[in-house]
Amino acid sequence: MSAGADEVIPLARPHVGEREEELVLEVLRSRRLSLGPKLPAFERSLEARLGVSQVSAVASGTAALHLCIRAAGVRAGDEVVTTPFSFVASANCLLYERATPVFCDIDRRTLNIDPQAAAAAVTQNTTGLLPVHIFGYPADMPAFERLAAQRGLWLVEDACEALGASHSDGKPVGARGNLATFGFYPNKQLSTGEGGAVISPDGQLKERIDSERNQGRAPDMGWLDHDRLGFNYRLSDLACALGLAQLERLDEMLAARARVAGLYNELLAGMDGLGLPCPDADGDRRSWFVYVVQLPPRVDRDAAIRELRARGIDSKPYLPAIHLLSFYRERFGHREGEFPVCEEVAARSLALPFFPELTEAQVERVVAALGQVLEAGQPTPQAL
Ligand SMILES: *Cc1c(COP(=O)(O)O)cnc(C)c1O
């Protein structure tokens, strides 16, 4: 892509190359568009990459979450402690099973659910914990694993934004032996168009996941018998072919994302009042998913987005707090003030263009435009 000065710089753009075309074309020519050989091939490749032995590829990250909480044993009326600072799917999946998401506040540095706040939110009705590795930064899983063990809770990790991240012990995020999910929407580190994956801790859970993604069919049964209720959450062979090609150069794409993040870090470092993503600490390693800054509190974010757009740059308020979304306010009576850290972060967050092929010139253009917008948005000395 050329970096013409008048071209709109999009928020995200998947990296697709010749290998993707080659493998997708292979599937098209084979006429086995679903439930063919690319599904197990993609699953085994993901397993090798993560160092795990039970991966199930499914239709979306949301489908993966839904299957995970069912496999964990969620029941109607259960309370599940989770984060309000996430993509809405991590809370919505609980509603599919008539469980109640119980939110708690986040850690100001990592923006992940705060383990102490999570512990305080556990009640007699709590049956599970659903932490999210937000923006690709590892959540404090050892703390959640201790809490789960102490209180007898199930644990599902939403790692949809964190493929390629790792914990301080070197384990890849999603590979700690808990039920965990990945997502493969086009803005993610690896894309299959739409898609997702479940990591199961054991073969029995994988069998249940595999059956429920395919209408409840048991692997050894004929087409017409089903021993449980299931869904159609299958991932097509076309999508799996895309995933296989992407997986071959995942490291390259992750390195390209890290390079872009490094450029932003460097060029934005001096900008007054701007909050940047936290650097890696304590041995945890982020996988760069988005580049989200915190605008200075006095800046009108909506106006900033309009001004950036007028300069040919896409940006987005990201993420909104889930408990303050209309549906959640109406359904659960949530109001401002419940989770102050989350609400402040959500009100100030702005996602900037971020994808592997973003050039240095484009990053410079984004940074220059943001500088102009923030300067223009400052109150004048007279107004103070
Ligand atoms: C992307 C994402 C998902 C899954 O989204 P799908 O669009 O269903 O693939 C789930 N949780 C989080 C935090 C995500 O970012």
- pLDDT of 331-377, one tens digit each? 999 999 999 999 999 999 999 999 999 999 999 999 999 999 998 87
Q: What is the largest CA-CA distance in the chain?
A: 78
- Are 158 and 86 contacting, i.e. CB atoms less than 8 angstroms apart? yes
* pTM assigned to the model: 0.96
Domain residue spans in the chain?
18-248, 250-377
Res. 379: pLDDT tops 60: no
Residue 384 banded pLDDT, cuts 50, 70, 90:
very low
Residue type, position 263, single letter: L
Cα 191 to middle of ligand 1, angstroms: 12
Rounded Cα–Cα distance for residues 68 and 197 (Å): 10
Torsions phi, psi for 65 (to 5 deg):
-65, -45
Mutate which of 68, 83, 133, 160 to test ligand 1's pocket (most atoms within 8 Å of Cβ)?
160
Residue 219 banded pLDDT, cuts 50, 70, 90:
confident
Average pLDDT, the chain: 95
Q: Which two tokens stand for residue 301?
A: 């974010």
Segment 1-16 shows an average pLDDT of 79
Edge-to-edge strands, sheet with 349-352: 291-294, 349-352, 316-317
Torsions phi, psi for 277 (to 5 deg):
-55, 145
Mutate which of 66, 161, 182 to test ligand 1's pocket (most atoms within 8 Å of Cβ)?
161
Return the DSSP state at 323. Answer: G
Ligand 1 pocket member 89 (CB < 6 A): yes
Give nearest CA residue, ligand 1 atom 13. Answer: 87
**pLDDT in the model for residue 221:** 66
Q: Can you name the CATH fold of 250-377? A: Aspartate Aminotransferase, domain 1 (3.90.1150)
**pLDDT in the model for residue 3:** 47
- Are 359 and 7 contacting, i.e. CB atoms less than 8 angstroms apart? no
Residue 279 banded pLDDT, cuts 50, 70, 90:
very high
Cα 196 to middle of ligand 1, angstroms: 8
**pLDDT in the model for residue 1:** 45
- 63 in helix, strand or coil? helix
Cα 89 to middle of ligand 1, angstroms: 6
CATH classification for the domain delimited by 18-248, as one of 3.40.640.10, 3.10.150.10, 3.30.9.10, 2.40.10.220: 3.40.640.10
Ligand 1 pocket member 161 (CB < 6 A): yes
